[in-house]
Every structure is written in C-alpha cells, then in structure tokens.
C-alpha cells in the first residue's frame, strides 16, 4: 500500500484532474442546454473549472515528483542533474577554422578508473553529504560532517560511490 507512493500520487492526480475536468465540461453543457439564462454560467463552468483543475494539479503532481526523488535519494541514488545545471561541453572547432584566433585546445585524457570489486561494499552505509564511507552500520549520523542523510550502497549506485570511497 505504501510502496511507490510518489507514483501513486502522480497517477491519482492525473485521474482526478481528467475526471473532474470531464464532469465540469458535461455540467457546463447541461447548464447551456437547460436554459439560455444559464448559458454564461455553463460556458464559465466548461472553461474556467477545467483550467483551474489543470493548474492546481501541477502542484499536486510536483509533490508526487518530490516524494519520488526523496525516496530515490534515501535509497542511495544520486540526484539527477537538470540540463541547466549540467556542465557545458566545449564545441570542437574544425582545424581550418576561418575565425581568427580560434584554436581548439586538446582535451586532456581522462585517467582510466581502476576496476574495483564492489562486493564487500554492498549493503554498507555512506554519507550523502560528504561521501564518506561509514563502516559502523548502527550509526545514524555521519561522524565526519554530522549529516543524517545516510545511504546504502547498492548495485545501481555503486559506480558513483565506490570511487569516492577508494580515494579515502
């Protein structure tokens, strides 16, 4: 019942928004068909209510997204980077560039990451704040930075976490 709460919130918001919008559109048509006096009210009911429902459903859907992200981070994942926060990649210039002074500096080669056996680290705790490996599984706060956000190393997040642990 409480598994995948964020996804359930988002699905419920979609369903309620669609159903409520449809009900208001039908109610607006009924008001228009009943009497011409109610035509303005029917038109307003058909247009404004579904628009307001959609606008407010964005907030509830966003809450579902926040819950999904919080659960993902609590389980040891790393926060996804939005395109505006991603580092800009340099555009390569052709060798025969017509722009004066334009040079294409060679990019330094990235050092190869050594293959690390992740098996001994699986299920261990790490600090989401400073990336410190925490050997004691009973600890509820990071002994280095005091953060209460401790994650568990899994197969999905080990590639991002293990290199930080090996450096220490």
36-77 confidence digits (pLDDT tens) = 888 899 999 999 999 999 999 999 999 999 998 888 888 877
Q: By mean pLDDT, which of 82-86, 105-109, 117-121 is the weakest?
A: 82-86
* Residue 112: predicted pLDDT: 55
Cβ pair 151, 137 in contact under 8 A: no
Cβ pair 151, 74 in contact under 8 A: yes
The whole-model pTM stands at 0.46
* Residue 97: predicted pLDDT: 46
* Mean pLDDT on 81-105: 51
């Amino acid at each position: 019942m409480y598994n995948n709460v964020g996804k359930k919130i988002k699905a419920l918001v979609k369903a309620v928004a669609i159903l409520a919008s449809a009900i208001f559109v039908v109610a607006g048509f009924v008001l228009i068909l009943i009497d011409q006096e109610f035509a303005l009210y029917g038109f307003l009911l058909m247009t404004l209510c579904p628009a307001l429902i959609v606008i407010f459903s964005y907030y509830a859907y966003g809450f579902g997204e926040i819950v999904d992200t919080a659960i993902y981070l609590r389980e040891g994942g790393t926060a996804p980077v939005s395109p505006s926060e991603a580092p800009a990649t340099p555009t390569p210039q052709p060798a025969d560039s017509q722009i004066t002074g334009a040079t294409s500096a060679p990019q330094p080669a990235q050092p190869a990451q050594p293959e690390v056996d992740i098996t001994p680290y699986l299920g261990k705790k790490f600090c989401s704040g400073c990336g410190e490996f925490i050997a004691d599984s009973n600890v509820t706060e990071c002994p280095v930075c005091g953060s209460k956000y401790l994650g568990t190393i899994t197969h999905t997040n080990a590639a991002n976490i293990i290199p930080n642990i090996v450096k220490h």
